[in-house]
A and B are shown apart, each in its own frame.
Chain A
């Protein structure tokens, strides 16, 4: 299992929303927050191994040549498939949300007054999901070791039986 990542990137060219979201998540979670105003800057810093990225759908409202959110999402997933990306958008359209999910987004948040509370919930959900994933991996490893141990025990008993070393034991023939 990979180590738990405690960094969140906020990628949005709207400085007001980015600052408000950063302040809110700093207050409500124990993650370390980083803000980038372009997808390109986010890509340059992926080596920091963020656990969650909040990514604006429109990243080219200020710089027209900047890559948009969907393009950045695909680049992020190519470089780091493990990071959970949450799309932020002012568009309350189901088809846009579905499209982002198809590209690998974990969730989709509509920008508005409730966006900050939704973001906090999503962080909590991702944390729980990762914890469950970690537990599942631990149990999987444990069951593999138990199966291997049981297999070795059976082999040992068979060997002891075949070599006649336990043939006299009660219950064994």
Chain B
């Protein structure tokens, strides 16, 4: 299976400074699981406004970690919850987002050992 995360941007941004890359990745790793929990709770509670905001925030962090597929999912969730459109599809999209983000988390933990 191909990598979901791509650290090209982070590498360019930091000029290859591994200490800075480690700092940013660690910040993502400590925050992302909480954000996923929040997204899950909001989906279960049909809190669409909250879901829109949370998926929006996670989307930005996923962008910097180069997790493009999860960015697309977070964007779709943000759009649909914001416009109250195709709400029945949201639980499935959230599951896909959880899978993609959790996979990226494992990859990034592995990347940290190589930096």
Contacts and interface: CB of A to CB of B under 8 A. Distances in A.
Interface string B20-35: 1001100110010000
A13 B57 contact: yes
B24 A64 contact: no
Given A58-B56, A60-B53, A64-B50, A16 B13 contact: no
Interface in A15-43: 15-17, 19-20, 23-24
Interface string B26-59: 0110010000000000000000001001101101
Contacts of B59: 90
Interface footprint category on B: 10 to 19
A15 B13 CA distance: 17
B32 to A, nearest CB: 9
Interface of B: 9, 13, 20, 23-24, 27-28, 31, 50, 53-54, 56-57, 59-61, 63-64
Interface of A: 13-17, 19-20, 23-24, 58, 60-62, 64, 90-91, 111-113, 116
A60 B38 CA distance: 13
Contacts of B13: 20, 24, 113, 116
A24 B64 CA distance: 14
